[in-house]
Amino acid sequence: MNRESRILISGASGLIGTALVRAFTALQISVVCLVREPDGQQEILWSPQASPTIANPTLLEGFDAVIHLSGANIGAHRWTPAYKKEIVESRVQTTRALARLLAALNNPPQALLCASAVGIYGDRDGETLTEDSEPGSGFLAETCAAWEAAAQPAKNAEIRVAHLRFGVVLSPEGGALAKMLPVFRLGLGGRLGSGEQWMSWIALPDLVSAVFHIIDAPECSGPINMVAPMPVTNSEFTRTLAHVLHRPAVIPAPAFALRAVVGEMADEALLASARVIPAQLVEDGFQFKYPQVAPALESLLASARLN
What residue ranges do the domains of the chain occupy? 6-171+200-231+276-293
Q: Is 47 helix (H, G, I), strand (E, B) or coil?
A: coil
* Exposed/middle/buried for residue 241 (C-beta within 10 Å: 0-12, 13-18, 19+): buried
Cβ–Cβ < 8 Å for 25, 31: yes
CB atoms within 10 A of CB 47: 12
Distance CA 225, CA 276 (A): 7
Domain at 6-171+200-231+276-293: CATH code? 3.40.50.720
Residues lower than pLDDT 70 in the chain: 40-41, 306-307
Predicted pLDDT of residue 50:
86
DSSP string spanning 132-196? TSPP--SHHHHHHHHHHHTTHHHHHTT-EEEEEEE-EEE-TTSHHHHHHHHHHHTT----BTTS-
Strand 168-170 and strand 201-203: the pairing is parallel
CB atoms within 10 A of CB 113: 24
Cβ–Cβ < 8 Å for 229, 280: no
